[in-house]
């Protein structure tokens, strides 16, 4: 139980509080009060100006004088595309005069108090502040990459949110924000939203990773390391975080499994309890649904999301127990799976206090072929913090988002996860759907990934020595849903001739149960007079699906499932 005392009160409709809580607890959760962003794991009661916190589920918090329960608040949280980077060609093309940072004080503009700003918090008039800046972003709301997530910042500073969703902090987005500038925030109301405390416990990362966003940490594995190791070393495994990394203690960690039915049954497992199930290992590549997004973005038109190259996939051997076994033990009827879902909830918590969560169909979880794990090890070592220590789901063949890290609860339910990560992201649309016309409610969630491949060596733009009239080309290929790669073809002449990769390195698991990636090597003849060639790679899987030729007809607003042929240009030295 924690006590906190009120330390400051600047305005009657707001209460500023300061929590004397351990940094660990702050990292476990966050509550947003007034313009100040403060972390906590839970608040059970609020009595006048005294706030009592304990470990009970759910929390209450006060903002703009209202007390909201977590449930109510999370129902407002239907913003899609959180955590990812805005990319807009308009912004890019205009960004010659770069805005270094938004929110500078601009003397010619009117001044507003925080109270005045706070009155503009709905869709009809939606203002936000950032440092000294006041912005009327009403017209921007429909095109916010994070969907309605932005509504939580109505009439408030967006800085605390951006501290969690650090990918906003780019010159392009600063410039976009400034285009909505209407005034300055009153000096008395400008608060220092230093974000050090939130991120100070982040793990130390390998400096060979290619950082895409620092907070949250998202980083690719360089292509050369993808093909250097069949099983990616843990420290080089690509990292995809939505929030700060929670720090959990393996000895204390508990997994709560709730099976909803005619009656609700709940089991709780320590890691030692889980070890009583048969322990197994599964080799599975994990790939972000947005891997290779940058190609779709560049070759067709802008999409929203982290600009992954081909480095958002790595391969590992995961050790743990079968989810299926734990669900059977916990009372799931394997004959009664239709239409039900398995909701995974992690210990990572967003700026509004909501735990990361997503779900998969119960059919999938109970299918003995799907090999879904509750994993505690990665390549024979305890999971690193970045990869879910001490416990994560591993859902082979699915977008990595379903392999929930820091797993703290599993709920079997009639409903899919209500989280915005599940409801408003990782769903597929055709190329004609816009943010205005896309209906997330009826769009199919992505539970399995299509066939893809990438050339890792040489790299685009490389100068390559021709040996014996040919170029050596190496890369990876992968297909979800248990499909195995059966062939990789490379063309150096725009598809007029295709050269089959002579070597495919893969796990021995059979098709339909094959979850690792495939590393391949091809020898591609080139003519003596050729000084430059464009290489195309495409893979075929055991269902004989192949990659689409180009991105045009698979383009989608979120830039996921970006699996057209990989094309690079190289220069030749004969």
Part in contact with a copy of itself (CB under 8 A); list of ranges 18-26, 125-133, 175-183, 539-547: 539-547
Based on the shown chain and the rule CB under 8 A, indicate whether residue 489 belongs to the binding site for a copy of itself.
yes
**Residue 117 or 526: which CB sits closer to a copy of itself?**
526
> Rounded to an integer, what distance in angstroms lies between the CA atom of residue 434 and that of residue 439?
9
| Residues near a copy of itself (CB under 8 A), total | 53
Whole-number minimum distance, CB 539 to a copy of itself, in Å? Answer: 11
The footprint of a copy of itself on residues 285-344 (CB under 8 A) is 337-338
Q: Which of 233, 331, 498, 505 binds a copy of itself (CB under 8 A)?
A: 498
Catalytic (active site) residue 4: no
Q: Which of 10, 138, 281, 513 binds a copy of itself (CB under 8 A)?
A: 513
Whole-number minimum distance, CB 455 to a copy of itself, in Å? Answer: 16
> Rounded to an integer, what distance in angstroms lies between the CA atom of residue 227 and that of residue 236?
12
Binding mask 447-486 for a copy of itself (x = CB under 8 A): xxxxx---------------------------xxxxx--x
Active-site residue among 240, 242, 427, 567? 240
Cα angle at 391 between 389 and 395, to 5 degrees?
Answer: 115
Whole-number minimum distance, CB 572 to a copy of itself, in Å? Answer: 21
E runs forming strands in 114-236? 121-122, 125-130, 133-136, 181-185, 210-213, 218-220
C-alpha 566: how far from chain center: 23
Whole-number minimum distance, CB 426 to a copy of itself, in Å? Answer: 11
For residue 293, which of 87, 460, 118 has the smallest C-alpha distance? 87
Based on the shown chain and the rule CB under 8 A, indicate whether residue 446 belongs to the binding site for a copy of itself.
yes
**Residue 118 or 448: which CB sits closer to a copy of itself?**
448
DSSP character at residue 531: S
> Rounded to an integer, what distance in angstroms lies between the CA atom of residue 213 and that of residue 280?
34
Based on the shown chain and the rule CB under 8 A, indicate whether residue 361 belongs to the binding site for a copy of itself.
yes
> Rounded to an integer, what distance in angstroms lies between the CA atom of residue 239 and that of residue 218?
5
Q: Give the phi and the psi of residue 446 in degrees, each rounded to 5.
A: -90, 115
Q: Which residues contact 273 (CB under 8 A, 6 or more apart)?
A: none
**Residue 73 or 555: which CB sits closer to a copy of itself?**
555
Beta bridge pairs of residue 135: 128, 181
Q: Sign of the CA dihedral 275, 279, 284, 289?
A: negative
Q: Give the phi and the psi of residue 103 in degrees, each rounded to 5.
A: 90, 10
Catalytic (active site) residue 288: yes
For residue 223 the two structure tokens come to 């292509």
Q: Which of 363, 382, 472, 521 binds a copy of itself (CB under 8 A)?
A: 363
Whole-number minimum distance, CB 416 to a copy of itself, in Å? Answer: 14
Catalytic (active site) residue 168: yes
Based on the shown chain and the rule CB under 8 A, indicate whether residue 110 belongs to the binding site for a copy of itself.
no
Catalytic (active site) residue 253: no
Binding mask 124-153 for a copy of itself (x = CB under 8 A): ------------------------------
Q: Give the phi and the psi of residue 555 in degrees, each rounded to 5.
A: -50, 140
Alpha carbon separation from 99 to 161, 169, 210, 546 (Å, rounded): 20, 11, 24, 43
Based on the shown chain and the rule CB under 8 A, indicate whether residue 278 belongs to the binding site for a copy of itself.
no
Based on the shown chain and the rule CB under 8 A, indicate whether residue 552 belongs to the binding site for a copy of itself.
yes
> Rounded to an integer, what distance in angstroms lies between the CA atom of residue 314 and that of residue 227?
10
Based on the shown chain and the rule CB under 8 A, indicate whether residue 553 belongs to the binding site for a copy of itself.
yes
Part in contact with a copy of itself (CB under 8 A); list of ranges 200-208, 226-234, 363-371, 457-465: 363-371
Catalytic (active site) residue 242: no
Beta bridge pairs of residue 522: 473
Whole-number minimum distance, CB 193 to a copy of itself, in Å? Answer: 39
For residue 561, which of 302, 303, 290, 240 has the smallest C-alpha distance? 290
> Rounded to an integer, what distance in angstroms lies between the CA atom of residue 358 and that of residue 375?
17
Alpha carbon separation from 570 to 356, 513, 532 (Å, rounded): 42, 36, 6
**Residue 142 or 494: which CB sits closer to a copy of itself?**
494
Whole-number minimum distance, CB 503 to a copy of itself, in Å? Answer: 12
Active-site annotation, residues: 144, 168, 240, 288, 426
Task: Write out the residues near a copy of itself by the rule CB under 8 A.
Answer: 337-338, 361, 363-364, 367-370, 428, 430-432, 444, 446-451, 479-483, 486-487, 489, 495, 497-500, 508, 510-513, 538, 540, 542-550, 552-554, 561
């Amino acid at each position: 139980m924690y006590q906190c005392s009120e330390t400051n009160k600047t305005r009657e409709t707001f209460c500023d509080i300061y929590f004397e809580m351990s940094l660990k607890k702050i990292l476990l959760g966050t509550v947003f009060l007034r313009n100040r962003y403060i972390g906590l794991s839970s608040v059970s009661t609020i009595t006048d100006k005294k706030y009592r916190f304990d470990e009970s589920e759910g929390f209450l918090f006060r903002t703009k004088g209202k007390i909201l329960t977590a449930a109510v608040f999370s129902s407002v949280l239907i913003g899609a595309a959180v955590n990812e980077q805005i990319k807009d060609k308009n912004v890019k093309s205009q960004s010659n005069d770069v805005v270094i940072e938004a929110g500078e004080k601009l003397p010619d503009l009117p001044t507003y108090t925080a109270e005045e700003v706070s009155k503009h918090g709905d869709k009809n008039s939606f203002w936000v502040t950032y440092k000294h800046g006041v912005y009327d972003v009403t017209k921007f709301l429909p095109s916010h990459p994070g969907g309605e997530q932005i509504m939580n910042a109505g009439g408030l500073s967006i800085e605390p949110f951006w501290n969690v969703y650090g990918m906003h902090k780019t010159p392009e987005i600063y410039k976009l924000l400034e285009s909505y500038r209407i005034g300055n925030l009153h000096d008395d109301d400008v608060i220092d939203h230093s974000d050090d405390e939130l991120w100070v416990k982040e793990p130390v990362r390998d400096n060979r990773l290619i950082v895409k966003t620092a907070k949250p940490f998202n980083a690719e594995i360089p292509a050369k390391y993808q093909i250097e190791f069949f099983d990616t070393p843990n420290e080089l495994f690509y990292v995809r975080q939505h929030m700060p990394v929670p720090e959990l203690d393996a000895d204390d960690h508990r997994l709560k499994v709730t099976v909803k039915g005619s009656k609700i049954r709940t089991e709780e497992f320590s890691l030692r309890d889980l070890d009583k199930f048969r322990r197994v290992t599964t080799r599975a590549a994990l790939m972000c649904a947005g891997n290779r997004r940058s190609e779709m973005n560049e070759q067709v038109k802008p999409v929203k999301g982290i600009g992954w190259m081909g480095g958002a996939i790595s391969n590992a051997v995961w050790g743990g127990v079968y989810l299926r076994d734990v669900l059977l033990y916990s009372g799931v009827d394997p004959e009664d799976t239709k239409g039900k879902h398995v909701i995974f909830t992690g210990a990572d918590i967003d700026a509004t206090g909501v735990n990361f969560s997503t779900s998969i169909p119960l059919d999938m979880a109970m299918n003995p072929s799907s090999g879904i794990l509750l994993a505690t090890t990665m390549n024979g070592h305890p999971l690193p913090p970045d990869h879910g220590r001490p416990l994560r789901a591993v859902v082979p063949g699915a977008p990595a988002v379903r392999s929930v890290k820091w797993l703290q609860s599993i709920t079997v339910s009639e409903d899919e996860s209500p989280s915005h990560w599940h409801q408003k992201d990782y769903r597929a649309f055709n190329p004609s759907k816009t943010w205005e016309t896309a209906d997330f409610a009826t769009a199919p969630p992505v539970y399995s990934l299509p066939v893809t491949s990438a050339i890792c060596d040489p790299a685009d733009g490389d100068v390559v020595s021709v040996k014996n009239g040919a170029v050596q080309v190496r890369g990876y290929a992968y297909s979800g849903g248990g499909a195995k790669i059966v062939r990789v073809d490379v063309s150096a002449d725009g598809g007029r001739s295709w050269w089959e990769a002579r070597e495919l390195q893969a796990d021995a698991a059979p098709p339909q149960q094959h979850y690792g990636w495939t590393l391949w090597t091809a020898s591609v003849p080139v003519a003596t007079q050729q000084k430059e060639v464009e290489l195309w790679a495409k893979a075929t899987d055991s269902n004989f699906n192949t990659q689409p030729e180009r991105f045009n007809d698979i383009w989608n607003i979120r830039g996921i499932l970006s699996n057209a042929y990989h094309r690079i240009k190289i220069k030749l030295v004969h």
